[in-house]
Every structure is written in structure tokens, then in C-alpha cells.
Structure 1
């Protein structure tokens, strides 16, 4: 597919004077396509910080019909190894040296290293697959979602039409989320470019990020103030940062017309705070299996409501037994025969309002979704904690929170120092979003007697939540430690903003 952009489309690097016009973008895409096809690429992996070259390589794969997998830089070594093994790419793009004996350096182009990778075994991907996006993984092994070109462009065009009704003039979008995030690549890159807008890319350091953690919120706020974008896409935790800064006196750019928030539960109270400081926040809902966005609130009067708005024009939805179901062709998961379907069961309980909007009521299962939109199975982390042998029982929390916390029980003969060392050891083998940042050691074990365990020894989560409500609240209160990821509360947010 030949990509043709409106004449006004632009790609700009926030850290340099580099800015490409539509003609220059198309020429660069053609160069990348020639390079990739010249090396016989069929399945491409990219592991690199956000950059214009990242976007161009992505668009080249889209144009050439090559299967692309973009991996976040914050994946653990074990997760990255699992992905590479399941995918068996033949070309690897990276902005740092790849230490893999199966890889040999071929070339360097536009700041990215190109590695040929020796394929160990044949991998069959579903017909029509153009992109494989790996979810953050509710367990240790991320799941590969196979998406067609058609599915991605449908969503991009649906968003283009929706946002054009909300914003004046061509979009000017600043990418806040890492580019491997499907929401940012489709809604933050494809849609604005197709609308003839400008997409501004900033590396992790300019956005104040290290891995999946925001370590310098002042840098993020300064970037927004400097760039003066019209639109942003945020996860709830980043929205909290903007609200906190605005409530402390930070003045959001008057240029901002549209701030989309999604990826995890957004409370009505948070949206009401946004309305209170006049931030134009619109809530959305989506999932990777549906090529990201499914629904988006699109009128200012609904910005502080508890709905996620109307489904996009390309998305037909229904509610079956209380669960939201999206009627869309899904190619399936990598390596899982029979996972293709014409219906995507989301696992979210939902209802329609009288105006036909969607209201999300909660998760059908125990899956935790933190405030950065990362999926975490509590059973996975709990098992890692108890596998050490020192910790007998554990329950992990973190739904809609910026980090994970736990209640743990260890035999009284086990010292506090040993418990701390055990948790630190477990954290070393977990991705940063699943690590236990805070914990409380219990004096009594969960038991059938007090109703916190089932007869077969499983956690009664609701009972534990009720019994230890005060303790759980304290685990997420006073988030002042430098070890706590991405709250921003430990900083004077205005101290470094001009």
C-alpha cells in the first residue's frame, strides 16, 4: 500500500530542528522500504526510543506489508527473549547494540542499527497480519496480538473524523506515550498525519521517562509548555500529574484543545478535577485486540461524565451477559491456533446509557490494570513471591494505582530483613510495572477460619479487601518515596518550569 499524506502533514523532532514535510516523509518511507525489502525482511522487530526514524520505519513496514513488532524498551530480558522466541524475526532494528549471537549487524540508517537474525524455526502468523503488538502481559509471557493493516487504518480514520469535529484546524499532536504503545502509534501518529497535521516526537529523556517510569515530571511539563500542542494522549497517571501541576499553579498551554485519556480506569472524580482546571479531557476506551480505540467521548458537556462515549463509526458493539463484546474481525494471537474470531469478548462489564454511550462497570476477572494501562495478573506476582519459600502467603494490589503493593505473611522465625531481601530478589526478575514497591507484613496468616481463604486454599480477595481495607489504603497513601514510580508528588512541580 502506497502511503499518501495530505500536503500539510509534518513530522517534527522535539529535541532538534529536524522537521519533515509530507513530501519528505514519503521520500524517507520509500528509502526505508527499499532498504528493508533489499535485505529480504519479512518479520521485523524494533527496539528503540521514540524518534522520527522509529515512525518512518513503522510507516515503511506498513507500506510494504511487512510484519512489524514494536517492543517497549522497558520489557525485562526474560520477556524480550520470550517475544523473540515466539516471533522469530529475520530483521531487528535497534538504537543500541543487540547482544544476540543469532544477530549480525548489516547496516545503520537514520540512527537505527539493522541486524540480520538467523531464524531458528518457522513461525506461522495469521493471514493478513501486518502488526503484532505484545501486551504488557498479565503474566510473565506477553501475548502477541495480530492486527491487519485494515484494522489499524479503520481506527485511525474513525479517530480522524471524531477529532476533526472537536479541534480547530489541522492537528498538532505531541506524543507523550512510548511509540510501541498501540494507542499512541494509531491515535497519536497515524490519525494526525492522515488529517494533515503535525506529529511531534520526543525521546524518553525529554519526556522525563526512564523505562515505563516517569522520573522527572518537571521535564514533561516543561515539554508541553514549550511545544504548545493542540492534543495529547495520556494514561490516568499522567493526567493526575497534569492536574496536580495545574492545581499548584502550572498554566496549561492555551493551544490545548483535546486531551484523550485511556488505557486504564478513569474515575469520574478525576475527570471532574480536570473540568475544574479547564483541561479539555475526553475519556476513551479500547483494547489491543480491536486495534486500540473502540469508543471515545466527543462532546465537552460529557468530559466529566462516567462514560467512555459513543463507539467509533468503524466499531459495532453489544453487551452479552453483561460483558462488552466488540463485533470486529480479530486475526488471533501469535502461536494460538483457533484464537481468531469475529467477536472480541473484552472481559469488561458494561452498560449503555440512554444516549447510547458506553459505561464501563469493571473487570470480569481479577486482572489488575495499573494507572499506566499495564495489565498485571496478581496471581503471577503472588506466585513469584511465595515461590521463594520465605513468604508463605501474599496478596497483590495495584488496580488503577501507579505501582503494585502487597500484603505478605512469613513465619515469625523469618526476619524482616530476610522478607525484604526476598521481595527485592523477586523484583529483580519482574518488569518494572509489576514490581512490589510497598508491602506490609501480616502478623496472622490468611485462613479459612477468618474467611480469607477458601476450603482449597485460594485467596478470598473480597474478604481480604474488606478485612485489611485500612492497611491497603496506607500502602498507596503518602506516595513520597523516590522509589515510588510516577506519582510526581515527591517533586516541587513548578521549581524548574519557566
Structure 2
């Protein structure tokens, strides 16, 4: 059994919790810009002192409304400044925040609120408030519903006018690291979500070590980030707390469609992303270049960026000169699309791929690919400055131990790893052994240098009728890297061979039609059997097949007219395939492949 453990870079105090960070910042750096928030179209600064004052005022309101130590308070909102304000105010009041995705159905909201026993919820707008009201009759513990876009903040501030600041101080200082900080419900690809209990120690350890480990990103002068991945996800939450802890300026954004315009104005120095977004950046730039008659220039620039990154310190003079030319012609424009100052990105949730990792590093943006789960407080393994190996998810985060079980399953242990599921002892016992090792359900390999490579998901392993075990994620990620492919789902459990359901990227499909003479009005459904479209998707499949053995390769595929996304229930909010749902709804299409 292979095991790698890395000692922590930070120590956790015996008392205090996450809210203390806000108060420490206001004392040690009173004029520092903690946030930039968009008000009436303008990004305005919020200092550490101002943020502390707002946290205290909202916390006083929560206390006045009867929120007690340990009480659960839901946050049902897209990313915004108020999300973080309420998060820290809830902690300052000694209470527990329960994030809920805005894409959640009324039934999901009911389950999370009911299971957590939340006594209050903060909803972003009328539509989300209405979802809560629809199920309020089934939530006897729920006493308050506050709405952000009307008077949630001002109303609580008014309610707390008669409460002394000392009450908040007493609540905040009574918190210990082992007290519950948040319950995050796993989006889950199957079954009802489980509530992952994360303590103040979990977050302080995982985030504190990440901030130190990724110091050049979090702690460089003028460090800032525009957070556009959901705060309801543990990945976004890690960066929220990390930015506050490192005193990096944090901004919030929720609408990915208008992200580029706001990146240009906000100009972050690092971003949090998922492979899907980075693939979109690359494919969009490539598409624009090809449409503008600059295909050869872009393709040569991309090849040069990859070669430059692969060469590292061994890059010769000729490669350096080519790189410098393309930096002026191409790379600088790509960086400008992300605001012009982005030097680093953290990527997780799925495999980015070695090629794109090298491409972005060659462009001047180092992507630190990592791995973690809600149960490990986000990243438990991550690439870092000086400890960087494309194609892997890095080494264990300081304070974390990783081992590979005899069956290949990745197991984790450390202060960042949770200790229980909320009110679900059977699930806890199944996930955590007597020595504190958490079985992730993912499969992986540790190389001789201690870098982890993800090879699949234990529960997703397909077994063909010939007895061959197939990890679908490996080939799915490769196929989906093609710009024309939206998602790929590999099937073949109990069958003679492996096949795939493939969706088409709608944006790239529009451009692709212009390159092959298809009618602009032609739909994916109309062209699903078109020879040109089939040939292009076959090229994506052929590329994916190169990553696996012949027995694991995709022999047939079916193009679907339906897109997989969180809105229609085929992807989780973190963009993972809901296999059981897809297999059920597209059972006829799967059968047609055999």
C-alpha cells in the first residue's frame, strides 16, 4: 500500500474560529482592500475595517432575531458580496452556514433545509424566496426567510441596533476549532445529497495550508481574484476563505455569459476555474482565429506555447525567439481576455489534460491542477510552484496524507478531512475507517515522486462481457477535449464492447457549420447522422482511444441532440455527469449501440 504524507505548514490555535480572520485583518491591515463589489455598474472597494463593521452589524441582527450558537442558517444565492458577508456574520454569531445551489429544485431545498434543521435562510431574490415559500409548510424549524435584493442586510442591521457589540465578541470568542462551521450537501451523482460536516479546524487547516503552499498566487503584492464558480461548492468556498485569510482582494460574479467583460475591468491576478471553462477559453480563441483567417498563426502559437512549457529551462534560443514573437501576436491577447494580469489559476473538478496545462503555462498562465472533495474541504492534493507535474493533480497538500488501497482507491487523512456526515452514522462508518482514513471512491496512482494521478471512479468502473475493467473518465475527458464535443458518456457495462453517447457544443457547432458548408439554420438533431459531423466526432473518439487499450476503446457512438447541463438535471452543479439519470433517460439510444 503506497502512502505519502506531508507535514503541515500552519498550526491551528486551541481557540477561535473562522470569523477571527476578519477581525485580525482589520487590526493588522485596516486600510487594505478586502473586496471590490459592483454597485450600479462600478466596482467599489471595501476595506478590511469596513467589512469587519458590516460583519458585526449583521451578526448583531442575527443574534437579535434569535439565531443561537450552533443554529443552522441556509444561504440560497448566486455569488455576490452579501454571500460572503452572511457567511462570516453567521460564523461571528457562533452559528453554522448551510449553502444551497440556486439551481436546486424545491424538493432539494426542502431536503437540505429539513435535514440540516435550518432555522433561517437567506435567499437572493424573489424567485428563490418563492421556492422556499413553496415548501415552508414542510419545514417546522424554519423561522426566518430574508431576501438579499430587498432588505436582508438593512433589516438585520436595524434589528441588531439594540444588541451590544460585546455580544458578538462573546459569541465569536466562544467558538473552538472543533465546532461545526458549515454543512455542505454533496451534489451527488446518485441518491439524496449527504450533509458533509466541516469544522472550523477543517477549513482553517485546509485553507491555511493551501494559502502557504500556493503563496505566490495568494500572497503576492496586489493579489486579487474574481470568484465566478459557485460559493455553494466547496471549491469556491475554499477560495473565499483563502482570499480573506491571505488578504487578497476578492470580487464576486455569477453570470458566466458576462464574465469576460468583468474580468477586463476587475483584472484579477488569479482565478479559480474548472477544465470546462479553460477549454472554452482555448476553443473560443482558436475559433475566433480560424474565423478571422489566422488559423495558421494561432495553431503555430499554440504548438509553440506547449513546446515552450514542456522544454522549461531547456528551451533553446530558437524556441525562445518564436515564443517572444507569439507573445506579442497571440498570448498577450489571450491574457487580456482574462483581464491582462492573471498569472495563475487553480483547476479542479475534472481532468484538465496535459496539453492544455502546457498551453496555458506557455501563454503565461500557470494552472495548478488539484484534486479534492467536499469531504476533504476541497483541495487535498495540488500542483504548486516548484512542485509541478502536468498530467497529475500534484502532491498532497501540507497537513494531508494520501495512500492507495490495494484495490487502487485513493484514501485521505488529515486535519482538512471531515469526520462525519450530518445525522448519517451508517454513511460515516462506510466512508471513514477506525484510523481516520477517508475512502474517496476515486481510483489513482502515486508515482515515485509522490505525485497523484487520477485513473477513474470506483463506482463508475464498467466491466465488459469479456471481463475487461474500464474506467470511463479517462477516455471521456479526452473525447470532450475536442472543441465540437460538449460531453461524452462511455457505456458498455456487461456488453461486448465499449461505446459512447456524445453531445455537441452548441457554440462551436455554429462555427463548425460555416467551415463545412452546412446551412446556418441546421440543428444538431438534423445533422446527427450527417457524414461530416460523424467524421469530425470520430476524430475526437480516435484521439480519446489513444489514451486506452484496444479492449477499452470506443467502438461506436451516438450523437445526442440534447445538451447535458445542471439545468436539465444531467450534470451536477459541479459539472459532473449524472450517469444513472442519463442512462435511464437515454436507454433506447444506448440499446441502439449494441
Establish whether TM, by shorter chain, passes 0.5: yes
Name the counterpart of 1:297. Answer: 383
Q: Assess if the C-alpha contact under 8 Å between 1:53 and 1:111 holds in 2.
A: no
In 1, distance between residues paired with 2:474 and 2:405?
Answer: 29
**1:399 to 1:82, Cα distance in 2 relative to 1, 3 A:** farther
Shift of 1:152: 0.7
Within 5 Å, give how 1:126-145 maps onto structure 2.
Answer: 128-145=179-196
Shift of 1:78: 2.4
Superimposed CA distance per residue, residues 127-185 of structure 1 (whole angstroms, 9 cap, x where no aligned partner) = 83221111111124222111101101111111110221356324211102011111111
Superimposed CA distance per residue, residues 204-261 of structure 1 (whole angstroms, 9 cap, x where no aligned partner) = 23x32xxxxxxxxxx2222222221101011110110122234446521341121111
Larger Cα Rg: Structure 1 or Structure 2? 2
Name the counterpart of 1:10. Answer: 34
In 2, distance between residues paired with 1:438 and 1:64?
Answer: 54
Shift of 1:273: 3.1
Q: Secondary structure at the match of 1:83?
A: helix
Within 5 Å, give how 1:305-316 maps onto structure 2.
Answer: 305-316=390-401
Superimposed CA distance per residue, residues 398-452 of structure 1 (whole angstroms, 9 cap, x where no aligned partner) = 95455576989xxxxxxxxxxxxxxxxxxxxxxxxxxxx999999xxxxxxxxxx
Q: Secondary structure at the match of 1:330?
A: coil
Q: Secondary structure at the match of 1:347?
A: strand
Name the counterpart of 2:543. Answer: none
In 2, distance between residues paired with 1:397 and 1:35?
Answer: 50
In 2, distance between residues paired with 1:21 and 1:53?
Answer: 15
Name the counterpart of 1:193. Answer: 244
In 2, distance between residues paired with 1:240 and 1:476?
Answer: 21
Cα RMSD, aligned residues only: 3.9
Shift of 1:272: 2.9
Q: Assess if the C-alpha contact under 8 Å between 2:226 and 2:268 holds in 1.
A: yes
Q: Which runs of 5+ in 2 are unaligned?
A: 1-15, 157-177, 290-329, 463-471, 481-485, 493-523, 530-547, 574-594
Within 5 Å, give how 1:206-355 maps onto structure 2.
Answer: 207-208=256-257, 219-247=258-286, 248=289, 250-253=333-336, 254-299=340-385, 302=388, 305-321=390-406, 322-328=408-414, 330-338=418-426, 339=428, 341=432, 342-355=436-449
Provide TM-score, normalisation by structure 1. Answer: 0.68
Shift of 1:86: 1.4
Name the counterpart of 1:175. Answer: 227
In 2, distance between residues paired with 1:359 and 1:85?
Answer: 38
2:81 is aligned with 1:52: yes
Shift of 1:10: 0.9
Shift of 1:466: 6.1
Q: Assess if the C-alpha contact under 8 Å between 1:405 and 1:438 holds in 2.
A: no
**1:438 to 1:282, Cα distance in 2 relative to 1, 3 A:** farther
Q: Which runs of 5+ in 1 are unaligned?
A: 117-126, 209-218, 369-394, 409-436, 443-461, 487-498
If each structure's helix is expressed as a fraction of its own residues, which one has the higher value? 2
Within 5 Å, give how 1:348-497 maps onto structure 2.
Answer: 348-366=442-460, 400=477, 402-403=486-487, 469-472=555-558, 474-475=559-560
**1:330 to 1:9, Cα distance in 2 relative to 1, 3 A:** same
**1:109 to 1:265, Cα distance in 2 relative to 1, 3 A:** closer
**1:220 to 1:316, Cα distance in 2 relative to 1, 3 A:** same
Shift of 1:108: 5.9
In 2, distance between residues paired with 1:176 and 1:62?
Answer: 23
Q: Secondary structure at the match of 2:365?
A: coil
In 2, distance between residues paired with 1:313 and 1:158?
Answer: 6
